[in-house]
Amino acid sequence: MARAQHVRLVIVILIVLLLGMLMYDRAFGGDAFTGYQVDNKGQYFAFLGIRAPLMEERNGFQPFIQVFGAGVGYTFKDNGQERDANLQWVSPSLGLKYTAGSWSFLGMAGPQFRWKQEDQPSGPRSNETFVGAFVQVEAFRWHEEGIFHAIASFTGTDAFSFGRIRKTWLAHKSEQGCCSLYVGGDLAGMGNNQFYAVQAGPLVQVPINIFWLTLKGGYQYSESFHNGAYGGVELYFPF
């Protein structure tokens, strides 16, 4: 069954890449972002997203399209018994971005196609497919001295919410190209009626040419395992 869930995750990633290539032909350039995170109990979150504007900015406003795919593996407790579950989803969204100085504000919405596999008290794993609504809002400030990024999303299929605040500061500026160094931290939370986790920890960002590499880790509190730790890596680049 683990092989099947990994196959679904690969399919999700391929769908995002295919839709991203279709978007690229019609857009003015865009952004791609991906990452992987895992905790000390093997619970993971992997994602890939592509975002591209649909037209030039006018009076600070710019419509865009985003395709986001992800996979989550987590453990929850049911009557005192631990059960594992996995989710994979694809969310194509239409959104609007407003820019004022160094600040950008984004809102988007669209359908979400979700697959869920869950251990049962007895018998084989369940396999379910859902289609629901997805909404996301962001506030972002990009500055040479550091960034601020706040994000919140909600999915109606199983009331899964995610939120994160990130702040970084320039710690070292390289005059020779590679590599400047940014340090900062994350505060994040995610979950639904089965599972929740709260995370806080430091991060390091290194811009390498057009790529931004982020390494992160820290403390995690989850409903199933209480105290724990997590670590992850992210990559962002414009195209």
Residue of 126, 54, 50 whose CA lies nearest to 91: 50
The per-residue pLDDT for 141 is 96
149 Cβ neighbours under 8 A, 6+ residues apart: 138, 139, 140, 141, 164, 165, 166, 167
Query: pTM for the full model?
Result: 0.82
Q: Residue 226 CB: number of other CB atoms within 10 A?
A: 8
How far is Cα 183 from Cα 202, in angstroms, rounded to an integer? 7
Give the chain's residues under pLDDT 70. 1-28, 177
DSSP letter for each residue of 155-166 = ETTTTEEEEEEE
State the CATH number of the domain containing residue 233. 2.40.128
The per-residue pLDDT for 26 is 47
The per-residue pLDDT for 177 is 66
Q: Which residue range(s) make up the domain with 10?
A: 2-238
Could you read off the pLDDT of 71-91 as tens digits, one per residue?
A: 988 887 777 778 888 889 999
Number of domains in the chain: 1
Residue 31 and residue 106 in contact, taking contact as beta carbons nearer than 8 Å = no
